Structure 1
Amino acid sequence: MNENEEYSQNEENENKETNMKNNKIDRPGRQFYIPSQIVDEFGEKGRDHLAKPFRAQFLLALTAGSFMTFGAIFSILLASGVETKGIYHLLSGLGFAAGYAMVFISGSVLFTEINVLLPSYLFNKAGLMKANIYKFWASSYVGNILGAFMVGVLIQLSGSLPGTFYNELSMFLDHKMKFLDYGVKGWFEILVSGILANWLIGMAAFLTTAARDITGKFLGTMLPVILFVAGNFQHSAANMGYFSMGFLASDKYTWYEYIFFNLLPASIGNLIGGGILVSLLFSYAYKEDIQTSLGKGSRK
């Protein structure tokens, strides 16, 4: 090879290297987290929630419960008077998605989201029997109920909602409490429905965490929420919002019917749906890929 040919070959190789570098530079970055990163992020969020002082945990649980009542009200207002079933379900789901978006974006503590975050943390760390974990779980549930009821009281005192709202609310409550007529079979059906509901809400958290911008987070929240609302799947935190308004506006159902014949079986189902069908399933599926610092260092 003469000098000119060698020079031409070197120049061609340099051009190839430059083109490869340019291709790397020009390639757009990925706009979402991959599943293993999402599961890892779940665990990190669970740890961060546990690291907060109890007063912060409880206040954030109150806030999340409050958002559930706002979401319930918005879902009824948006769908009020709509005759077409598909549009009715779409609008009611969009209304409730507003409540969940406020929860996810604000970092509030929602019982059904904790059912996804904490198991993801626990599945990657030894020592499942620490009392503070279960204290946090219980306080989030109580805080959600109190927050939902508090907003229900304030709305009733405000006198802001029209009479037609309460007619629609009554229809929503009948839809939620239809299982009451079926005895033990109905109780079991609510439990199974609760599994499906928190499976979907777990996926809402999954999609929201995957998104890396605010628009993606809103869209990730909306789609599963619309589905669970349209399907009448029994989601305990969502039902807290509806029941807080129903308890104050009507005596058709008693508080113990709301709690023992809906919230209790729905909550058990929610634990199974979020903890097993989302956290455990994905933690096990991606365990080789998850690069996490959970359990390392001095943070507890």
Structure 2
Amino acid sequence: MAEYNKDQYGNETKDQKYGTTIESRENPDRPGRQFYIPSQIVSEFAHKGRDHLVKRFPAQFLLALTAGGFMTFGATFSILLAIGIDAKGLYYLLSGIGFATGYAMVFISGSVLFTEVNVLLPTYLFNSTSFLQRNIFKFWLSAYIGNIIGALFVAVFVKYSGSVNPSFYTELSTYIDHKMKFMDNGVKGWFQIILSGILANWLIGMAAFLTTAARDITGKFLGTILPVVLFVAGNFQHSAANMGYFSLGILTDTPYAWYEFLFFNLLPASIGNIIGGGILVSLLFSYAYKDDIQSALDKK
């Protein structure tokens, strides 16, 4: 992060946590900025990635289960809000807002979501000299498996609680058909999902970016909602989101088998998600703000 000036007594003249100057705090007519600047955001990514990596495995896995459950909650809410809506624009808006609820719970709770890890962890690794000593692949895999199990866990509760109406499952089948349409294109469809996955996690990486920039709860919700609405409207394939929909789908009379969900959507989408989050967000901004990030990490 950037260096801060000090007064004659050695006190910092800028609050590192809140980014406000002493002058702005003493003069209400000149308020300090209410968000983190990009270099601070990417530094936060690096710190969060390191914090995830050094956690004990049980804690990592538990937080991955929680994140997967939040994805199913988000999928459920997105369907409930969109039932009976004919106007496409409003349909996409409400569906996106519903799913953004799941992401907001992930971002604010610090849960371990595979697709967010694709942004946070690479940001740390790109700026660390000791990452080869850490079992990063075990962590990545545990996040992925934990997300799937957590999504299934909540889906079982939703299904067997009998809480939702039959119209919910009718709408769910429409969502799933929309996501599985690439199967009809064979090998070409597989690569289309990869490209779609790149776009999806580029957007979710920017949702994490905007959420981290905000310093109040309202800003964090708004930062989450806008990119999520876009990826939902565009039918971009986001593996974590699809885990929520597919977990609900396997417990219904869907025409798709579990291995079709896995091999003809989740796997290619995950490859695209790694590229979109790791390269187009993490690597891009890490390179742009490398000096600031390294300075911040060295102080820790």
TM over 0.5: yes
Are positions 1:127 and 2:130 aligned together?
yes
Identity in percent = 74
Root-mean-square deviation (Å): 1.5
Aligned to 1:97: 100
Aligned to 1:82: 85
Q: Distance in 1 between matches of 2:217 and 2:70?
A: 18
* SS state at 1:241 partner: helix
Structure 2 letter corresponding to 1:161:
V
Q: Deviations over 1:22-47 (max 9, x none)?
A: 67831211100000000000000011
- Quick check: 1:236–1:263 contact (8 Å CA) kept in 2? yes
**Residue of structure 1 aligned with 2:279, choices 276, 279, 287:** 276
Greater C-alpha radius of gyration = 1
Are positions 1:250 and 2:253 aligned together?
yes
Aligned to 1:4: none
Q: Deviations over 1:125-177 (max 9, x none)?
A: 01343342111111000000000001111111101110000110000000000
Q: Distance in 2 between matches of 1:230 and 1:128?
A: 37
- Quick check: 2:96–2:228 contact (8 Å CA) kept in 1? yes
Structure 1 letter corresponding to 2:259:
Y
Q: Distance in 1 between matches of 2:296 and 2:289?
A: 15
Aligned residue-pair number: 277
In the TM superposition, 1:154-193 aligns within 5 A as 154-193=157-196
Question: Unpaired runs of 5+ in structure 2?
Answer: 1-21
TM-score, reference length from structure 2? 0.89
Structure 2 letter corresponding to 1:25:
E
- Quick check: 2:45–2:119 contact (8 Å CA) kept in 1? yes
Are positions 1:50 and 2:35 aligned together?
no
- Quick check: 2:152–2:248 contact (8 Å CA) kept in 1? yes
Are positions 1:118 and 2:116 aligned together?
no
TM-score, reference length from structure 1? 0.89
Change in Cα spacing, 1:83 to 1:24, as seen in structure 2 (3 Å) is closer
Aligned to 2:14: none
Is the deviation greater in 266-275 or in 49-58? 49-58
**Residue of structure 1 aligned with 2:219, choices 216, 219, 236:** 216
**Residue of structure 2 aligned with 1:146, choices 140, 144, 149:** 149
- Quick check: 1:125–1:295 contact (8 Å CA) kept in 2? no
Change in Cα spacing, 1:149 to 1:295, as seen in structure 2 (3 Å) is farther
